Chains A and B, each alone.
Chain A
Amino acid sequence: MSIAGLIFSNLNQNKLAAMTRQRVLASVPFGCRYRLIDFPLSNMVNAGITNIGIVTGYNYQSLLDHLGNGKDWDLARRSGGIRIIPPYISAYENPALHKMYISRLEAMLSAASFIRNCPEDHIVISDCDVVCNIDIDALVEEHKKSGALITFLAKTMNVEEGQMDETDFVLESDETGKVTHFNHYKAGTTGKMNVFAQVMVMDTPFLRSIVDEATAQGFTSFFNDIIRPNADRLHMHAVYTDNWFAQMHSMEQYFRYSMQLLDSNVRADLFKRENLPIQTKVRNSPPTRYLPGAKVSGSLIADGCVIEGTVENSIIFRGVHVGKGAVVRNSILMQGTYIGDHASLGCVVTDKNVLIRDGRTLSGHETMPFYIAKGVHV
């Protein structure tokens, strides 16, 4: 069984606008030491995929820095490995024709040469706004067994108001898994539904034909131009995941799902599935030091931190310093955050290298965490 992978690093990133102002969605930090791309990338590597294209748009320096040569995912290969696919912009043609892509299909077209030259029989396509530990091997097996041309990964969940918008998709399938209905989420609807989990498998020749047709016809939308007009004759299949699943479509969701990592069942589901480890870039951080006077409880903490104060119910990334007498509650502190002595934080998300001076008090609410942008001094 040969599978290739294609990861879209920036689709849907406008939903996390504050955090993606200076970085691509794929490199948004998550869970103390990871970045969002670690999850689709690890899922693919765990299925033995070694030829992975990563489509990028704007602001992908942090992503390149994170991926390096791919060694940390065992993807530093002579043949295959990680292939970064930056936007294709020609200096000799009308620049208006080569504007930055917006849709999934346009992004696919920028990966046309990767798709056309890919020798593998199947391609797994994944976005970066979903955090889930997925057994892709099993997914592709199911795809092959079903005989479908395209298989969608879906998650059955109880959708609350405001959780999704019209750019999301919902689907229904019959008892064999054959998709009977695939459409945009209708705004305002709530309750139990099957949500498309932004991961799909396709036969490579089928994907090639899509790319060729879209190029010839000038199509721009994968779902509106390809899937929906052909829904009746395309054999589409759905596979449902039972695992913990997070879709980062707002700062509130980012905050809520981050906090769920404090639950050991969630961590077991995401990090401790047998033979399905989540890999990330390893950094040379020393262990974390808890100094006399530190009081830490119910928190997830990365290496390289120095904790002198109180930390409760929080997610602490690498190299964070929490000063003497400082109190950090229900907060997410990203890499290199410095909390001064006697500062107090509640429901705050600090981006990288934020400095909170001694004695400052900052507070947000669970439904609206107070986000402090990268490098800001308060």
Chain B
Amino acid sequence: MKQKKECVAMLLAGGQGSRLYALTKKTAKPAVRFGGKYRIIDFPLSNCINSDIDTVGVLTQYQPLVLNEYIGNGLPWDLDRNVGGVKILPPYQGQNGADWYKGTANAIYQNMEFIEQYNCDYVLILSGDHIYKMDYAKMLDFHKEKGADCTIAVLEVPLEEASRFGIMSAHDDGTIYKFTEKPKNPDSTKASMGIYIFNKKKLFDYLIADEADPNSANDFGKNIIPNMLAAGEKMFAYPFEGYWKDVGTISSLWEANMDLLGEDPVLDVTDQSWRIYARHQADEPQMVGNTAIIDNASITEGCEIHGTVKNSVLGSGVKVMYGAYVKDSVIMGNTVIGEGATVNYTILDEGVDIGAGAKVGEARENAKDITVIGTGVKVPSGAVIPAGEMISEL
């Protein structure tokens, strides 16, 4: 058990994820279910433990209940440690009053004492919004090798999409000379992944200075990174190759789920050398009935399939009754899809009930948009929910 930690990870998990609409009405975005068994936050947490980073502060703010329950003592990720492990860090009341986290930088600023406990040299800043597998240890090696003050992970994106991201312009050796948030005419295709490694001392200096500036938005992308660049600090872009998806929108969340399917899935969660951990339940095995037709699907324990499931991802405890038809959909869990009901090109959050004969969404070929139904909604028998609807209550 190492008392001193080389690198402490701080995971920003307070985001509301308002572009996920009904899915984040009652949970923070990092707690949104993914791929049948997972929640988004399982990916950065698993990356941490797989990268030998065993101290992770999770900064929560918006709707933290589900996230707190889910992370618990951190055992499923092997992050239940005597020194370090995973710790939930909500905003708190101090001597000079209480403050919500005003921005990403302020959230870290308010938890400098937490980081200081571990006497670390480096701080890794992560967000809980992305699905990806990444070895942070390699990035830390790069950071040390370059003698950087700050290293930012970047992903090559197509030029036409570059204007949606924070774009880093860097020299061949990786030195960043310019950073532009969502540029109209991008001069680089290196998009920031929102993953930073800082030398702790340098980070603390800038956080303190930033806090003293009343005009600052207290945000890494808007303030800390530009300020460090302007002051000529040594900043490097760390090129990442591999699967990475910002699941901040309904369509990207749907796509990332679909990436789990097929003969050779783009996103492989079965890789034993880079396991994705999650808090599992001891549900009974899945039952595939005599009338079931399953074609290209990912199905989890506790499910009972009597109808047809095509090209879909089903979480635990989903019942697809006789004659029901599910296609191109993500069913997050504990849902009954009644007899003869059809669910097409739809995301159903946890605990949704679809009454017998109901029709939700439209075939993907004809539908303009994905249909979304929020947690706990009961769709009555025979009801028709048109394609593209976002329903959080009925």
Contact = CB atoms under 8 A, between A and B. Distances in A.
Given A282-B281, A284-B278, A303-B300, A289 B288 contact: no
A279 B282 contact: yes
Interface in A249-297: 262, 264, 267, 271-272, 277-280, 282-292, 294, 296-297
A278 to B, nearest CB: 7
Dominant secondary structure at the B interface: loop
Interface string A330-353: 000000000000000000000000
Contacts of A283: 280
Nearest to B292: A297
Contact of B298 (A33, A288, A299): A288
Nearest to A271: B284
A71 interface: yes
Interface stretch (B23-31, B51-59, B268-276, B349-357): B268-276
Contact of B288 (A264, A280, A284, A298): A298
Contacts of B270: 286, 289, 304, 306
A142 to B, nearest CB: 28
Chain A: interface size category: 35 or more
A32 interface: yes
Nearest to A31: B285
A259 B23 CA distance: 40
Contact of A290 (B35, B269, B291, B296): B296
A267 B284 CA distance: 9
A71 B286 CA distance: 24
Nearest to B287: A300
Contacts of B288: 296-301, 311
Chain B CB within 10 A, most for which of A272, A302, A303 = A303
B254 interface: no
A292 B293 CA distance: 11
B295 A294 contact: yes
A290 B35 CA distance: 14
Given A32-B285, A280-B282, A304-B270, A287 B298 contact: yes
A289 B298 contact: yes
B303 to A, nearest CB: 9
A298 B269 contact: no
Contacts, number: 105
A336 to B, nearest CB: 12
Nearest to B77: A284
Given A300-B286, A301-B285, A287 B295 contact: no
A296 B37 CA distance: 21
Contact of A288 (B263, B291, B296, B299): B299
Contact of A294 (B275, B287, B294): B294
B282 A302 contact: no
B299 A290 contact: yes
A204 B239 CA distance: 67
Nearest to B313: A287
Contact of B287 (A264, A303, A306): A264
Given A292-B295, A304-B270, A286 B75 contact: no
B280 A287 contact: no
Contacts of A72: 282
B380 interface: no
Given A71-B75, A303-B300, A278 B280 contact: no
A287 B263 contact: no
Interface string B26-66: 00000000011100000000000000000000000000000
A277 B282 contact: yes
Chain B CB within 10 A, most for which of A71, A272, A286, A294 = A286
B366 interface: no
B149 interface: no
Contacts of A300: 285-288
B301 A290 contact: no
Interface string B73-91: 0011000000000000000
A306 B261 CA distance: 11
A31 B286 CA distance: 11
B275 A284 contact: yes
B297 interface: yes
A67 to B, nearest CB: 14
Interface of A: 31-33, 71-72, 262, 264, 267, 271-272, 277-280, 282-292, 294, 296-304, 306, 311, 316
Interface of B: 35-37, 75-76, 260-263, 265, 269-270, 275-278, 280-282, 284-292, 294-301, 313-314
- CB-CB nearest 7 A-B residue pairs: A32-B285, A287-B36, A282-B280, A287-B300, A290-B294, A271-B284, A287-B298
8 contacts: A286-B37, A287-B299, A290-B294, A294-B294, A297-B289, A301-B285, A302-B286, A303-B37
